[in-house]
Amino acid sequence: MARDVVFKMERPGLVEVGQWVEVSESVTPFNVNYMIEPAVAMSGLFKLNDRLKSNGGVVKAIEENDRGYYVTVTFEND
């Protein structure tokens, strides 16, 4: 089953739709968040039991609004 995760990106042009990206995980005592490497975009917080099983995925969409750029990545097997 695939899972989509949205990441906040500050500048355009750092990734492209269809591109494979790797993510790193940052764990706190109560939450976990992910970063598209190398420091391209950051996800929101997830509960520990909602952790990703994959360390990479494919960029599905990039959207811009008044708050910045948002990258949706699809992770397979999650």
As averages over each run of 10 residues, the pLDDT of the chain (78 residues) reads 95 96 95 96 95 95 96 92
2 φ/ψ angles, rounded to the nearest 5 degrees? -90, 155
Residue 32 neighbours by CB distance under 10 Å: 17
What is the domain count for the chain? Answer: 1
Q: What is the extent of the structural domain holding 49?
A: 3-75
pLDDT score, position 77: 80
pLDDT score, position 22: 97
